[in-house]
Chains A and B, each alone.
Chain A
Amino acid sequence: MFLRHAVWYYHAFLYSILRYHVTVRDALNQALDEELERDERVFLLGEEVAQYDGAYKVSRGLWKKYGDKRIIDTPITEMGFAGIAVGAAMAGLRPICEFMTFNFSMQAIDQVINSAAKTYYMSAGLQPVPIVFRGPNGASAGVAAQHSQCFAAWYGHCPGLKVVSPWSAEDAKGLLKSAIRDDNPVVFLENELMYGVPFEMSEEAQSKDFLLPIGKAKIERQGNHVTLVSHSRMVSLCLDAAAVLAKEGIECEVINMRTIRPLDAEAIETSVMKTNHLITVEGGWPQFGVGAEILARIMEGPAFNFLDAPAVRVTGVDIPMPYAKILEDNSIPQIKDIIFSVKKTLNV
């Protein structure tokens, strides 16, 4: 018994010094810290971001380090503080506006779309709006209908906005830094269930200048038989499904979108032209969703002729999110749904 524990600790120790692991939460925290340090004009505002250390502890330690001027606690008034953030961006600052969850951004969505997204266009290039709206998006665990909506499709619909949806810790860090340095309004969709998940962080990613390009997808797993395209937490499920399917000789290519808008259609097309089969996987609702857009693009583009079967979408069920665990579990894609869809598509 003692020996078993000792062996475990030895391996854990080796593992930790040989591979540096960071949770998504800490990666976001690092990105915020580094960008606040690098550029005086960057500041963070939102509910409980300062003295409470962040509702989900993403901004832990930042208020202690940077103070009231750079880390601002707001009242519970989304429309107001989002507008204030946009105004500050117009006047030369680089705000990071946190929504405690993106569900609450609906209260402020006019400011995000009409004041932030469209202004550079309306002013014919005179008035940029370098702002980042960030916060957790999509389903969590047991938070019911009003707190579980995915806004990727809503924001992805609008020209003038960049919409980013990271999956791993490296994604989170590199993309948030890029978002903050981007001179345009960026909607940064995090995921509460991913905050505590640790990922290996490469040497490169640990650098203070580590950036990931917005608008470029990443192939997380190579494969020849079917392309799985996903974003955020669903990437984990795709990889898990791929591992199960590999045992049956089906090799999935898993693409992590990283960005919703601008969509990296090229990466998806290249993959589909190789595998001839496409399945998109998302947590959000099916109608007019991220998957719907990807499928439309494939129809309209060069990859259509390479499809051996209709491209399909795996999505959340078309209902408001129920509370009871058994119902909630059956409202979002599970690994078995992805496996089922792959087999149906491949006709096996």
Chain B
Amino acid sequence: MRKMLTIISNVLRGSASRNGAELVSEGARVVVSARTYADFTPQATFDIKKCDLHKLEEGPPLQAVLTREEGLQYYRTMQTIRRMELKADQLYKQKIIRGFCHLYDGQEACAVGIETGINLSDHLITAYRAHGYTLTRGGTVREIMAELTGRRGGIAKGKGGSMHMYTKHFYGGNGIVGAQVPLGAGVALACKYLGNNEICVCLYGDGAANQGQIFETYNMASLWKLPCIFICENNKYGMGTSVERAAASTDYYKRGDFIPGLRLDGMDVLCVREATKFAAEHCRSGKGPILMELQTYRYHGHSMSDPGVSYRTREEIQEVRSKSDPISMLKDRMLSNNMASVEELKEIDVEVRKEIEDAAQFATTDPEPPLDDLCNHIFYNDPPMEVRGTNPWTKLKSVS
């Protein structure tokens, strides 16, 4: 048993080195048969890749400290997102989820890393690939899945669907490409206006990065020194169009021109965390906006109606999965530094699976919204009013 664990530990350590993490503690190599948590390494320092910098003298630190608790938490959250998205895939194929469904698997390190670099009292807005963020911003798996299946227990009572989920300080979930960027800057304006020391993280993809309204937003955010972190999640494809075919310059972190920028590995949750902390500090100190480009990858196609293999090869997808998977990367780091055991992580996997199963069960059995709710939520803080139905004899009730 001891020998087997040593071998496993060596193999995992080997793969962790390939991922760029370097060991600091030699002593970790020896501890193999720990059965009690007290024998686990409480924290370790990892080398992380240097960020490419634009108009910045210094970037985020080159090392990240990860505690055991943090590691387990990041692992659990990323695994939850992964499993939730795969479950959504399944439910979509069973036609229990309908319409648009844009899945986030592969990009988990972005959502989780960003959230660990800011506070829940900060603000965040993204585009339609939003299930992961809905979770990190405080939504529950149950509410998210029930929204996907269009039930009354959904986070938007079934009225929004996949692309329109909201929580406190999370402004969706937006269907129109690029439109969320000025919105995010607007949220940042409010933060500055109210003097609450909060910032707004404003996400968009490589496809959206060419939108005019984004450049208009860069200009105003910079002019008015808005506390806004613009983050481009570059997953290399805007629907079926690769970045080279859509952008004259694919250095998205430089596209803010006068806005300082960072480009980093979006598959490494620690990289993302450190960069986000750095960016948040930049904004909170009143220096104005900053831009981050996260290089990441989506395993699924653009949406469930896109197989995702007409514009990229299966080999490419497989390569990313085997060499750069964000969850595997974290797992390897933790195991090779004896920050957790294989069993412990497996246990988390089992718990996550159960949580997803329960949520899916809820999402498929919860009833659809009541017809009474059809016309509600047109106006806020208004007296009840009548809404015309499909014909002049049908008058429906609408309350705020």
Chain A residues in the interface with B (C-beta under 8 A): 47-48, 51-52, 55, 73, 75-77, 79-80, 103-104, 106-107, 140-147, 286, 312-320, 322-327, 330-334, 337, 340-341, 344
Contact = CB atoms under 8 A, between A and B. Distances in A.
Contact of B390 (A140, A146, A324, A332): A332
A340 B368 CA distance: 25
Nearest to A74: B246
A76 B161 contact: no
Interface in B213-269: 238-241, 245-247
Contact of B211 (A55, A76, A320): A76
A52 B212 contact: no
19 contacts: A51-B311, A73-B245, A75-B238, A75-B241, A76-B238, A103-B175, A106-B176, A144-B160, A145-B164, A312-B392, A317-B375, A323-B99, A323-B162, A324-B150, A324-B154, A325-B98, A326-B371, A330-B374, A344-B391
Contact of B176 (A142, A146, A324, A333): A146
B98 A142 contact: yes
Given A48-B239, A75-B247, A324-B368, A319 B375 contact: yes
B363 to A, nearest CB: 12
B208 interface: yes
Contacts of A52: 239-241, 310-311
B158 A317 contact: no
A155 B208 CA distance: 26
A320 B156 CA distance: 14
Given A77-B211, A313-B391, A323-B99, 13 more contacts: A55-B239, A75-B247, A77-B212, A143-B99, A144-B160, A145-B175, A146-B164, A319-B387, A323-B159, A324-B151, A325-B368, A326-B371, A334-B390
B362 to A, nearest CB: 15
Nearest to B100: A143
Contacts of A315: 388, 390-391
A316 B396 CA distance: 13
A317 B159 contact: no
Contact of A317 (B177, B211, B389): B389
Nearest to B376: A319
B378 interface: yes
Closest 8 CB pairs of A and B: A142-B99, A323-B161, A324-B150, A324-B158, A142-B98, A146-B175, A52-B240, A75-B246
Contacts of B247: 75
Interface string B128-153: 00000000000000000001001100
B399 to A, nearest CB: 13
A75 B164 contact: no
Nearest to A83: B212
B373 interface: yes
Nearest to A55: B239
A10 B388 CA distance: 49
Given A104-B176, A314-B390, A344-B393, A324 B159 contact: yes
Contacts of B373: 327
Contacts of A48: 239-241
Main secondary structure of the interface of B (DSSP, over half): loop
Nearest to A314: B391
Contacts of A323: 99, 147, 150, 156, 158-162, 164
Contacts of B176: 103-104, 106-107, 146
Contacts of A107: 176, 178-179
B59 interface: no
Contacts of A146: 163-164, 174-176
B210 interface: yes
B369 interface: yes
A323 B208 CA distance: 24
B288 interface: no
A76 B178 contact: yes
Contacts of A80: 212
Contacts of A73: 241, 245
A226 to B, nearest CB: 14
Contacts of B387: 317-319
Interface in B157-185: 158-164, 174-179
B207 A76 contact: yes
Contacts of B160: 144-145, 323
Nearest to B373: A327
B171 to A, nearest CB: 14
B240 A325 contact: no
Nearest to A100: B239
B390 A333 contact: yes
B164 A144 contact: yes
Contacts of B394: 337
Contacts of A337: 390-391, 394
A324 B156 CA distance: 10
Contacts of A340: 391, 393
Interface in B291-330: 310-311
B392 A142 contact: no
A344 B207 CA distance: 51
Given A76-B208, A317-B374, A47 B388 contact: no
A141 B311 contact: no
B228 to A, nearest CB: 21
Given A77-B210, A316-B390, A47 B159 contact: no
A45 B389 CA distance: 38
Nearest to A53: B310
A334 B161 CA distance: 22
Contacts of A106: 176
Contacts of A104: 176-177
Contact of A76 (B162, B177, B311, B375): B177
A90 B297 CA distance: 41
Contacts of B398: 319
